[in-house]
Structure 1
Amino acid sequence: MCLMCCSSKAIEVLDTSYLHVNYEAKLKMNKEKKHINRNVVLEIGKDVSVCYDSKFRQFIALDDSLKMVRASVGEWIRTMENNGTLGRTVSFAVYKHLPAMNELTYTDEIFRYLYYYEQELPAIDWQMQNADSVVCGYSCSKAVGEWRGRRWTVWYSMDIPIDDGPWKLQGLPGLILHAEDAQGDFFFTCVGIEEKRSPIILWGDHMRKCTPEWFQREITEFWKDQSGYVSFRNGMPKPDYSNTDFRPQSFTPCLMENYE
């Protein structure tokens, strides 16, 4: 696992949102664990949109402020615990139309190391279905599409003619208000939409640039052996697992997309 080149990306304002879409997300991050519930927000601006877990955004803001005052490890832990941001597990953010139109920037973390990569927006071959429903009070149509090893079913509303949706999903003539994959690992359901103007910010300082394939391999290695991974990243010898009582549990990540 070789480290990719580093790049310092200070917090910067990219656009101004005019719409905030709140999704109730049910995510299974590892095959061996249960689903976790999160509030995922999609901020839509004139040129750029961003989708992120609101709890992790709070974590990043707190972490930045604690770094500025050079808080001790104990102070850092207490502050995170008091704000309910210590046990975060969903750290992705997806910026659509960044760095250019029809491209996206994906940011994520692995054990407090922040990474980002850039790629083209998914070209999902959506198949329109003869079905309708109502999500969050909006009339919706159904579409099904496959993308990198997952089959997604979505409900989108042409009452909101915006080509966007949760995570990397997009490419339809209306905003995606519900999405789920065929394996039942990931669900996003809109629970509220509000007109709201606020700066769309690129969060994360000193992020390391990588590729999607590299990040997938790295996150897989992390979940296989978290203690060994942390030791490796800090230049320490791999832990001695001769005593199996102390061997960490190995997990298999439920990757939203498969690059292999």
Structure 2
Amino acid sequence: MKNFFSILFIAVFAIANAQDSKETANRFFYELTFKPKKDSAKIEKVMTVLDITKQKSIYRDYTTISQDSIIKVQIEAMQKSGVYKDLSKSVKMPKFSEKIDKFYPDMKVLYIERVANGFTPISIGYSENLKFDWKILNEKEKIGTYNTQKATADFGGRKWTAWFTTDLPFQDGPFKFHGLPGLIVKIEDSEKNYSWVLQGNKKVENWEEISYAEKISGMNSKVSEVSREKFNKTFSDFKKDPLASARPYLKAEMMSQKMPGSELTIGEMVKTQEKMYKDFYNSNDNPVELTNKVSVGNLEKVGKEKDKK
């Protein structure tokens, strides 16, 4: 989602024309408490959401989605006035950029990130067929309004404890977690690096997968699915130099030009955006998965993952 801000000066005056099929989704709100740094006791919190539709579920940071109406008003004002405004000063940035789809009924997991292709954001992802080796225990607990039962599993180099409820008949949960006889209400690792707790839910009528911010930046729902190895390399290269693919187009003449209605030059804005990227990706060195190769009981790869050039 952060990619939107780095290409804002190119897309800000474009009128969104991407279309999404609209349907109803069940939206579950999970408060995520996490340690962004391995060697620090500091913890942070962010609201995340799991949207469940008939075909799949979508997990992501709720920050940008929650500000869609604010972004829409400000973008439309810029389009009308022709004057650039730096939205990073008035819009809260997300903590996480990934999106995770789980496709029903086989529960194939598709992990997605955004990278840049020149000035255009694109989605790349890798798929997995995760079979969690859950151990369901007899222990029960009331969490909020939900009657839950305990389960444990190993995943991504961490030991996890989950509490699920059969009151909500979805065999799903936050992040990649799924496969229990009901929705996961709470899940955390043994060292409490990551802890998700369900805070509530609602039905979303006329639900759309692509947010307004993503639409005006040129984003759509198409994902280039590659092997996990290629994904890791592509995303790692992008984090090291997010503007690498755009740099050939950033000519000196263009960089010295001022933004419409602003004293800020394009070069100064690009420098600011580059710093924002680096700050964003350097803010968390404690990933949910400690290992690149997942180990969750019986893990099955989805055939041979496709590399799409």
Q: Same fold (TM over 0.5)?
A: yes
Q: Which residue of 2 aligns with 1:94?
A: 100
Deviations 1:80-105 (A, max 9, x none): 422x32x332122222117x842233
Match of 2:156 among 143, 148, 160: 148
Offset at residue 184 of structure 1 (A):
2.1
Match of 1:259 among 292, 297, 305: 292
2:225 matches 1:213: no
Q: Which residue of 1 aligns with 2:10?
A: none
Residues 89 and 125 from structure 1, CA distance in 2 versus in 1: closer, same or farther, beyond 3 angstroms? same
**Greater displacement, 38-47 / 195-204:** 195-204
Match of 1:183 among 184, 187, 191: 191
Offset at residue 177 of structure 1 (A):
0.6
Alpha-carbon contact 1:24-1:191 (below 8 Å) kept: yes
Residues 221 and 150 from structure 1, CA distance in 2 versus in 1: closer, same or farther, beyond 3 angstroms? farther
**Greater displacement, 202-211 / 140-149:** 202-211
Alpha-carbon contact 1:15-1:48 (below 8 Å) kept: no
User: SS in structure 2 opposite 1:172?
Assistant: coil
What percent of counterpart residues are identical?
A: 21
**Greater displacement, 31-40 / 147-156:** 31-40
Alpha-carbon contact 2:46-2:95 (below 8 Å) kept: no
Match of 2:64 among 43, 46, 56: 56
Q: Which residue of 1 aligns with 2:180?
A: 172
Specify every segment of 5 or more residues in structure 1 that has no aligned partner in the other structure, as ranges. 1-9, 237-247
Deviations 1:2-34 (A, max 9, x none): xxxxxxxx56337521x2211111133443563
Alpha-carbon contact 2:47-2:61 (below 8 Å) kept: yes
Match of 2:125 among 117, 132, 146: 117
Distance 1:182 1:72 in 2: 52
Alpha-carbon contact 1:155-1:176 (below 8 Å) kept: yes
Residues 57 and 195 from structure 1, CA distance in 2 versus in 1: closer, same or farther, beyond 3 angstroms? closer
Match of 2:170 among 144, 162, 173: 162
User: SS in structure 2 opposite 1:165?
Assistant: coil
User: SS in structure 2 opposite 1:156?
Assistant: strand
User: Between Structure 1 and Structure 2, which shows a larger proportion of helix residues?
Assistant: 2
Q: Which residue of 1 aligns with 2:38?
A: 31
User: SS in structure 2 opposite 1:201?
Assistant: coil
User: SS in structure 1 opposite 2:175?
Assistant: coil
Offset at residue 73 of structure 1 (A):
9.5
Offset at residue 172 of structure 1 (A):
0.5
User: Between Structure 1 and Structure 2, which shows a larger proportion of strand residues?
Assistant: 1
Deviations 1:195-230 (A, max 9, x none): 44342414541677354334444555666xx5xx24
Alpha-carbon contact 2:36-2:283 (below 8 Å) kept: no
Residues 42 and 231 from structure 1, CA distance in 2 versus in 1: closer, same or farther, beyond 3 angstroms? closer
Alpha-carbon contact 1:56-1:90 (below 8 Å) kept: no
User: SS in structure 2 opposite 1:56?
Assistant: helix
Alpha-carbon contact 2:98-2:112 (below 8 Å) kept: yes
| Number of aligned residues | 231
Residues 200 and 124 from structure 1, CA distance in 2 versus in 1: closer, same or farther, beyond 3 angstroms? farther
Alpha-carbon contact 2:151-2:161 (below 8 Å) kept: yes
Distance 1:74 1:30 in 2: 35
Alpha-carbon contact 2:166-2:183 (below 8 Å) kept: yes
Two-structure CA RMSD over aligned residues (Å): 3.7
